[in-house]
């Protein structure tokens, strides 16, 4: 939805994965929320480009390694939340 990964990199999950905390089907709600994200894509892309985090965020979008994900999240947040000089 944010244009971070190629179609070939998408992971299709079984319908059973889309259950909420009450074990009810939630795939329709999941996709509705993703469509909301899609509407904000230009703003997200601008923020990502300004922070020079495109590569890290693309890697985060496809990684399945918990340690890599953790390291990337810390790096991304540290960059975005770094104190700004006045």
pTM of the model: 0.64
Model confidence over 12-40: pLDDT tens digits?
766 667 777 788 778 777 788 888 888 99
How confident is the model at residue 25, as a pLDDT?
77
* Burial track 14-37 (b if 16+ CB lie within 10 A, e otherwise): eeeeeeeeeeeebeeeeeeeeeee
- Alpha helices, DSSP H only, in the chain? 27-39, 41-50, 54-62, 66-80
């Amino acid at each position: 939805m944010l244009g971070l990964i190629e179609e070939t990199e998408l992971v299709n999950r079984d319908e059973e994965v889309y259950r909420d905390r009450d074990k009810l089907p939630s795939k329709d709600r999941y996709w509705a929320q993703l469509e909301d994200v899609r509407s904000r894509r230009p703003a997200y892309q601008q923020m990502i480009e300004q922070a020079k985090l495109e590569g890290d965020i693309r890697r985060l979008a496809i990684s399945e390694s918990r340690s890599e994900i953790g390291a990337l999240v810390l790096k991304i947040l540290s960059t975005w939340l770094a104190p700004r000089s006045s």
